[in-house]
Structure 1
Amino acid sequence: MRTPNASRTALMLAALLLVALPAGVLARSSDRTKPMLIDADNVVHALDESQPTVLSGNVVITQGTLDIRSARADVSIRNNEPTQVVLTGNPARLKQEMDDGSPFSADASRIVYDLTTDTVTLTGNVTVNQRGNTMNGPRVVYNMKTGRVQATRNGTDSGRVSMRIEPKNPAPADQPESD
């Protein structure tokens, strides 16, 4: 049986972890000072940290311009500190406005944020959009310590990585594009 305190604790732990989601990538710095709102159909929380806290069913997390939507969020805790969050969905979605006002979004079947290594791994039909540029592929790993992004095939997956980089000064609209 879940107590109200267990549910509240689960949501607070999820909030602590999710507030740290890829700061370098999803960087509207003022969002961290805003309240975080978390809605889910269900929360299951183990008081002894033996299992992750699980938010499931229409998970919606918002904080300022940050908007996260997934079917499920698993939050692992060790020594009262969040260590990992796993978002799953069809797809799991992250959206946020950057400090310069430009939009950032990422969709994937699975998004794993590992706080112990400061990495975010997106797998399964990954699409990342930022400032009009896109990256698509089966797997994208972002290292928040180094700022490095690596996009690869996923094991035996035959999918390829594709990118579209928009020119800084695009041609006027009345000129036809040339390939």
Structure 2
Amino acid sequence: MPSFDIVSKVEMQEVDNAVNQTVKEISQRYDFKGSKCEIKLEKDAIKLLADDDYKLKAVVDILQSKCIKRGISIKSLQYGNVEPASGGMVRQAVDIQQGISKEKGKDIIAVVKESKLKVQAQIQDDQVRVTGKNRDDLQDVIKLLKGKDLGVELQFVNFRD
């Protein structure tokens, strides 16, 4: 039976490159002269530290533009709350979403079932597997899911006949 997997993965090397480009641009920009803005890439998060809200928003904007240029979807970045830090600075954590959560998996399965196509969808860890007897039905599911905005960036991999 033909099948494919729906995943949501982010290439961490590209995230690292985007963070490094952001750090470089911040060090060169005139409006950041003398400020203590920091960006640190941790395991599955990016930590932002800036002098005030304005500079933090500018850092987020630069980071987003660099991510887009590197081919990283903005949907995979989950922004935390802006928190005050020591010395009158502000801090924000940006989580990098890897995989499809159970709730999003259930949403994907609901969309597939609503379509009335003759396919089965099941959650497997952090991915969703769709199987069916007909390859055309699977391609219709891919087209359907690409047209929907489910809040996560979806990739369709492991298409097998």
| TM-score between both structures, scaled by the size of structure 1 | 0.23
Larger Rg: 2
Q: Relative contact order, CA 8 A, sep 6+: which one is greater?
A: 2
Give the TM-score of the pair, scaled to structure 2: 0.24
Q: Indicate the structure with greater strand content.
A: 1
